[in-house]
Amino acid sequence: MSNEATTAAGSTTPVTPDATAGAGNIAAFIDHTLLKPEASEAEILKVCAEAAEYRFKSVCVNPIWVKTVKTALKGSGVLTCSVVGFPLGATPSDVKAFEARGAVLDGAEEVDMVINIAAARANDKGALVDDITAVAEAVHDGGAILKVIIETALLDNAQKVLACEAAVEAGADFVKTSTGFNGGGASAEDVALMRRTVGPDLGVKASGGVRSLADAQAMIAAGATRIGASSGIAIVKGEQGSSAY
């Protein structure tokens, strides 16, 4: 089953997921992820083959690999996902927008951006809205979907709410917990807070530290409609994955 139905270019309506879903259903929630800077082409192609075999939702990679992934996944039904301003978010908004346009032109159907974390910590909602809007326009112009990484490990609860509100206001399609590179990852508590903040119509992606079927089910029960993980195979097999992202 799919975890969300596409209603228009750049927008999704989450379908209420089954928190008790077994491995066969969980696969459709997973963005199979390889974002290590040292990843080789052989490793990227291996991840693509795995995603096609297990029917994951997408393969998420750094921008240099988007063309490779798009070609490798052709005909598989698995989406191509890339990242923008990753992993720090400390890039000017117009540069993030340029990067996003390039990724979409190369074949990315989904883009995960990192917000201006300093703005979130300064409670500057206007700066956050401007940052996300610039990327949202670039992504949506290409018919792709935008996920907004708020980096929960670096924010308090009020700042998490502020960042999620900014994502909604800017027209994002998802909010996402973490990069997995800046200390800490997803927690069910953060996912639940994000779901309460964005309401039922935006996607919520739990990412970072989701390494087992039980972890994934806990995130879905809390309100996640997508799981970002490098341990996708372990998750669907009911095993314990590694900490590598």
* Catalytic residue IDs: 112, 176, 205
Distance of alpha carbon 144 from alpha carbon 195, whole angstroms: 22
Strands 30-34 and 11-14: unpaired
Alpha-carbon Rg of the chain, whole angstroms? 16
DSSP 15: P
**Which residue shows structure tokens 């739990």?**
206
Helix (H) or strand (E) holding 24: helix 23-26
Distance of alpha carbon 106 from alpha carbon 64, whole angstroms: 9
Interacting residues of 7 by C-beta distance below 8 A, sequence separation 6+: 13
* DSSP-H helix ranges across 27-156: 41-54, 66-72, 93-106, 117-121, 125-141
